[in-house]
Chain A
Amino acid sequence: MEEQFPIQKVMDDQGNITDEKTLQQIDEELVKKAYYHMKRIRLFDRKAISLQRQGRIGTYPPFEGQEASQVGSVLALGTDDWVFPTYRDHGATLTFGADMVRTFLYWNGRAEGCVPPEGKNIFPAAVPIATQIPHAVGTAWAEKRKGTQNVTLCYFGDGATSEGDFHEGLNFASVFQTPTIFFNQNNRYAISVPIEKQMHSKTIAQKGLAYDLPSVRIDGNDIFSVYFETKKAVERARNGGGPTLIEAVTWRTGAHTTADDPTKYRPEEQGKDVVNPLDRLEHFMKNYSYWYDAWIDQIEHELTEEVEAAVEAMEHFPQPDPSDLFDHVFANPPEQLSEQKQSYLELLGRG
């Protein structure tokens, strides 16, 4: 299966493009966009970890190492498409237009963090593993029924492929030929469980075969490979060609979450040879004369300020309101629920 699904890449670890045709498709706009967003989400991610350490937000699952997978894939979408993230995919959602203040709020235990900006189709991060996969299929199915050309992009990890929802989602997508891109980030661990113990199959891409899905295995740390392969899948879906499964092989640099200790289960030397996707893009930019010092300095400065301002806004966000416990359960709250609310607010002295 590894022969049938080799890891495809167009850029090597030193940032050299190994495929002439791809090189012609890369322009300054794409390079700058890719770098800008990868840098931006890197700063966000590191800030979130440090906020957690200081007790300013709750448990946080870092995505460092997976920036190329997240940015490259989501950049291939159009504005009216849909994104279905997991808890680790804030890099993708931020790039797609999620609000940074609200993304911080999410990790501070606030449901406000699940509300997408007006006009952005972003589902709340799925916490129960693989449950978002059928949603992405249903949403795509609805787009198809409505006769639009919009597609859905669904993120999930290697561990998620063990859940029933993964298989059920792929089968529905296959049967109803929905415009769905199943984007797997194979970061080789599901918390402590390595991929070899998660599955006996050698690749995740091969799981698409059972459902007759076009499937591809790519280097998830190669931003260009991710971008162009996702773009292909998106085009196919838009033009009625149905779903695609993409396995992006990547590496989570840090812990599963801030509550996790990877030294308990990952050999120290493992992953040492992985070139960080942002470094790899930097090499490319230097190799191909896209490295503009002034621009780099400027965005670094801007982005640092953006992240700081978002933290500030998160911390000055209005306090959570106990009424919110009750107000959003139904469109029209049943009487007994309104009574529970009333008596609780009275107890708080706010009735």
Chain B
Amino acid sequence: MDVKMERKAEQTNSTQVLTMVQAINDGLKTMLEEDDTTILLGEDIGKNGGVFRATEGLQEQFGEDRVVDTPLSESGIVGTSVGLAVNGFKPVAEMQFMGFIYPAYDQIMTHVSRLRMKTMGHYSVPMVIRAPYGAGIRAPEIHSDSAEALFTHMPGIKVVCPSTPYDAKGLLIAAIEDPDPVLFMEPMRSYRAQREEVPEGKYTVEIGKGEKLQEGTDVTLIAWGAMIPVAKQAAKQVEQKEISCEILDLKTLYPLDRDLIAESVQKTGRAIIIHEAHATGGLGNDLISEINDTSFLYLRSPIERVTGFDVPVPFFALEDHYLPTPQRVLQSIEKAVHF
């Protein structure tokens, strides 16, 4: 069934036109209303409504016990969330920026992702960690990291990353309802870039499923989050050269939508993977393995990666040079098509 049709079937009657950050707010609100055990934790998420206003108005509506301004301690936030999750609550923890998730890495790697396994299912950690990520908004140092691969590498946690307001709300609700921990990455650059119709109330976007955004025949562009607009621009530019791109929005980075990728690459025979994280150890490499496993004999050219370079995300004066651009994607498309 066409994805767009599925959407329609799910939709409730009324919708509102929202930006991504408003859709996230609406998703959190929906789940706070729906389930008393939902609890939000984070720095400046209460009275201030979050530094991006993602939790605006929620403390006012649901009280300080459910929308909690915590001490400034990421390890504390995630570690106590493990305890809350084990003992009956549904914590949704905010990392103010993904670049500040590192103090919590220990907790995520050693407990969040392993508690189910080490107790053979007796304890589990149904929690969500929200993390605004990515460069391109002229933020100070460390605020612009895109660290998904540190977590897709980590067994026992799912990783999702929406690119639109609709998906942001639907994936967030799915993440909160998931029986296992989910890292929910929010592309800061897309927070207010686009408005679209978002259903009121509860709906989900399935974790583990990507979406074909554009049909094409010559080459498959695989991207997610803030790289979707870059992929779209590049696809538009090569249209004039009569190169037809298929665009896949992965939405879930672990577990990958293997069928979607295989089906598309088997059709086009070419793939370009675009991500803003560094090349080495990046998710692009897993995608290449995936394509290798399922579609090797269909390939007409080597798979290309357009990624951030293997350097720390620079201070903002150079961030546009770090980030993949439509121009760099274009170069890779041409390389693949003329191989």
Contacts and interface: CB of A to CB of B under 8 A. Distances in A.
Interface of A: 58-59, 87, 108-111, 113, 127-129, 159-160, 162-165, 190-193, 197-199, 259-260, 264-265, 320, 322, 324-326, 329, 336-337, 340-341, 344, 347
Nearest to B71: A162
Interface string B29-46: 000000000000001101
B69 A329 contact: no
B102 interface: yes
Contact of A325 (B47, B103, B321, B327): B321
Interface stretch (B80-88, B133-141, B261-269): B133-141
A163 B73 contact: yes
B192 interface: no
B331 interface: yes
B51 A337 contact: no
Interface string B203-244: 000000000000000000000000000000000000000000
Given A163-B103, A193-B44, A325 B315 contact: no
A67 to B, nearest CB: 22
B317 A326 contact: no
A329 B317 contact: no
B47 A192 contact: yes
Contact of B69 (A192, A326, A341): A192
Interface stretch (B115-123, B163-171, B289-297, B304-312): B304-312
B72 A59 contact: no
Contacts of B201: none
A110 B317 CA distance: 6
B123 to A, nearest CB: 24
A78 to B, nearest CB: 29
A340 B321 contact: no
Give the top 8 A-B pairs by smallest Cβ distance, nearest first: A109-B316, A192-B48, A162-B71, A109-B317, A159-B72, A320-B317, A162-B73, A162-B72
A347 B315 contact: no
A326 B43 contact: no
Interface residues of B, number: 41
B100 interface: yes
15 contacts: A108-B317, A109-B318, A111-B314, A159-B71, A190-B72, A191-B51, A193-B43, A197-B69, A198-B72, A199-B71, A264-B47, A322-B321, A325-B318, A329-B311, A344-B321
Given A111-B314, A337-B311, A160 B72 contact: yes
Given A59-B140, A128-B99, A192-B48, A337 B72 contact: no
B85 to A, nearest CB: 21
A259 B52 CA distance: 10
A193 B69 contact: yes
B311 A326 contact: yes
B279 interface: yes
Interface of B: 43-44, 46-49, 51, 69, 71-76, 99-100, 102-103, 138-143, 279-280, 309-312, 314-319, 321-322, 327-328, 331
A259 B100 CA distance: 18
Contact of A59 (B138, B279, B311, B322): B138
B310 A340 contact: yes
A110 B315 contact: yes
Contacts of B322: 325
B59 to A, nearest CB: 11
A309 B138 CA distance: 25
Given A59-B138, A127-B142, A128-B100, A340 B309 contact: yes
Most chain B beta carbons < 10 A, residue from A162, A260, A344:
A162
Contacts of B321: 322, 325, 344
A192 B44 contact: yes
A153 B141 CA distance: 22
Contacts of A59: 138-140
A320 B75 CA distance: 36
B138 A198 contact: no
A109 B145 CA distance: 15
Contacts of B69: 192-193, 197
Contacts of B314: 111, 324-325
Contact of A163 (B72, B143, B309, B319): B72
Contact of A326 (B44, B74, B100, B309): B309
Given A87-B140, A191-B43, A198-B72, A340 B318 contact: no
B65 to A, nearest CB: 13
A130 B43 CA distance: 15
B310 A336 contact: yes
Given A109-B315, A264-B49, A329-B311, 4 more contacts: A58-B139, A324-B318, A325-B318, A336-B280
A191 B52 CA distance: 13
Given A109-B315, A325-B311, A340 B279 contact: yes
Contacts of B310: 329, 336-337, 340
Contacts of A326: 309, 311
Contact of A265 (B47, B75, B76, B327): B47
B77 to A, nearest CB: 10
Contacts of A159: 71-72
A127 B103 CA distance: 13
Nearest to B72: A159
Contacts of A199: 71
Contacts of A192: 44, 46-48, 69
B72 A58 contact: no
A155 to B, nearest CB: 15
Most chain A beta carbons < 10 A, residue from B143, B312, B315, B321:
B315
Contacts of A111: 314-315
Nearest to B322: A325
A89 B139 CA distance: 18
Given A164-B75, A324-B318, A109 B138 contact: yes
A87 B140 CA distance: 9
B48 A58 contact: no
A127 B138 CA distance: 15
Nearest to A198: B71
A191 B48 contact: yes
